[in-house]
């Protein structure tokens, strides 16, 4: 997955560089700085996490899945399996919005299976990544920044939090799809510009 992320990032830089080069060739009156500003004006690399959440919708699998710190690890893993996701947001007991942390398949493997613990008697709160160690993004975070955080920290899921309340969760797959779609749209805009459609 990391190699896929690197490919997308390198393609993004190549596309961005190609866009700037072609803009410079097509209109010699623009400097590289002005070309860059013009591209931002039409939306290059402007997709935000909120756009991904809108696309997923409230009922989309994985957008709002959560469990409580008091739930058993067994029940959490069962929920992940039934919804085909690799992580759940963990909320404090009695609250659906006060985020306590995140529990992932990796937590289950490392802290239950490898250590020989029982998933039916162990609470999610005992194995989760706690809130103070949690890497999160806000709805207005740019998708490329989220991808960078996920790659640097070797994580596949990142909670979306605003004012200490959970708004949803995005996966590396969601982020990669958004970046690919944005680059596809930018290529269409570039073709239109070159053909005189701007």
Q: Mapping DSSP to helix (H, G, I), strand (E, B) and coil, where does residue 78 land?
A: helix
What element of type H or E holds 101? Answer: strand 99-104
* 8-state DSSP, 96: S
Nearest to 119 by CA among 77, 173, 84: 77
pLDDT recorded at residue 92: 87
pLDDT recorded at residue 41: 42
What element of type H or E holds 102? Answer: strand 99-104
pLDDT tens track of the chain, all 198 residues? 555 555 555 555 544 444 334 333 333 333 333 433 343 444 547 889 999 998 887 555 445 688 999 999 999 999 999 999 899 989 888 777 678 889 999 999 999 999 999 999 999 999 999 988 999 999 999 999 999 999 999 999 998 888 877 788 899 999 999 989 888 888 888 888 888 765
Distance from C-alpha of 171 to C-alpha of 176, rounded to nearest angstrom: 9
Angle at the Cα of 138 from the Cα atoms of 176 and 91, rounded to 5 degrees:
100
* Residue 97 CA: distances (Å) to CA of 62, 149, 154, 167: 16, 23, 26, 8
pLDDT recorded at residue 188: 86
pLDDT recorded at residue 113: 94
CATH of 135-197, one of 3.10.580.10, 3.40.50.300, 3.40.640.10, 3.40.50.1820: 3.10.580.10
Domain ranges for the chain, please list them: 61-133, 135-197
pLDDT recorded at residue 3: 57
Segments in 103-171 forming alpha helices (H): 105-108, 124-127, 143-153
Nearest to 108 by CA among 154, 71, 147: 71
The packing angle between helices 2-26 and 172-194, to 10°, is 20
Q: According to CATH, what is the number of the domain 61-133?
A: 3.10.580.10
């Amino acid at each position: 997955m990391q190699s896929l992320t690197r490919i997308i990032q390198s393609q993004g830089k190549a596309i961005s560089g190609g866009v700037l080069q072609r803009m410079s060739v097509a209109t010699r009156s623009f400097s590289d700085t002005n070309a860059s500003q013009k591209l931002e004006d039409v939306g290059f690399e402007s997709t935000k996490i909120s756009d991904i959440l809108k696309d997923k919708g409230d009922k989309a699998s994985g957008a709002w899945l959560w469990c409580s710190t008091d739930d058993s690890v067994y029940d959490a893993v069962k929920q992940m399996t039934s919804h085909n996701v690799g992580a759940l947001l963990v909320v404090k007991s009695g609250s659906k919005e006060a985020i306590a942390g995140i529990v992932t398949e990796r937590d289950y493997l490392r802290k239950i299976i490898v250590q020989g613990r029982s998933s039916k008697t162990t609470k999610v709160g005992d194995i989760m990544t706690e809130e103070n160690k949690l890497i999160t993004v806000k709805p207005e975070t740019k998708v490329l920044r989220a991808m960078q955080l996920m790659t640097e920290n070797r994580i596949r899921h990142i909670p979306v939090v605003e004012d200490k309340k959970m708004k949803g969760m995005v996966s590396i797959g969601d982020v990669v799809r958004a970046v690919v779609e944005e680059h596809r749209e930018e290529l269409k805009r570039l073709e239109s510009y070159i053909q005189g459609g701007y």
